[in-house]
Amino acid sequence: YADGHHLHYIAARTASKPRVPAEASHLGGNAFLVKLGNKTEIWFSHSPEELQLALATASEVEATHDRTWLFVKNKLFTQGFNLSRENLTPCVRETKQLDMSSIMKMIQDRPAQEKN
């Protein structure tokens, strides 16, 4: 998984052990201060708003020992976050949401493009 992107639940279950207690707080932008025992690091997320919301209601925060994965537990469920030690650039996978007229134009233009 690319650093900073969402975790898939299968990877989170199978490769997220051992977990260690952690503390995390938002520094600003996509940066978070993460404390693991006596070690403090800055990690970055593509979903800072989602992580902030999770931390606001957290009853427990853990990190995977050898990865930049945070697990934020509240009363109902645990959310997994895949962060990065490197500052993230805008994601190339982010796409503009097209409206229906743009989609229809792409479909209509497709036969003309295939002939060329």
Pairing of strands 69-73, 78-82: antiparallel
Residue 56 has what pLDDT?
95
Domain boundaries, the chain: 9-89
Q: Across 21-25, 73-77, 85-89, which has the greatest mean pLDDT?
A: 21-25
What percent of the chain clears pLDDT 90, i.e. is strictly above it? Answer: 41
112-to-36, 77, 105 alpha-carbon distances in Å: 57, 50, 11
Judge whether residue 90 has pLDDT over 60: yes
Spatial distance between the Cα atoms of 95 and 101, rounded to a whole number of angstroms = 17
Which residues, including other chains, have CB under 8 Å from residue 7's CB and lie 6 or more apart? 1, 69, 80, 81, 82
pLDDT higher than threshold 70 for residue 87: yes
Percent of the chain exceeding pLDDT 70 equals: 70
Structure tokens at 23: 């503390």
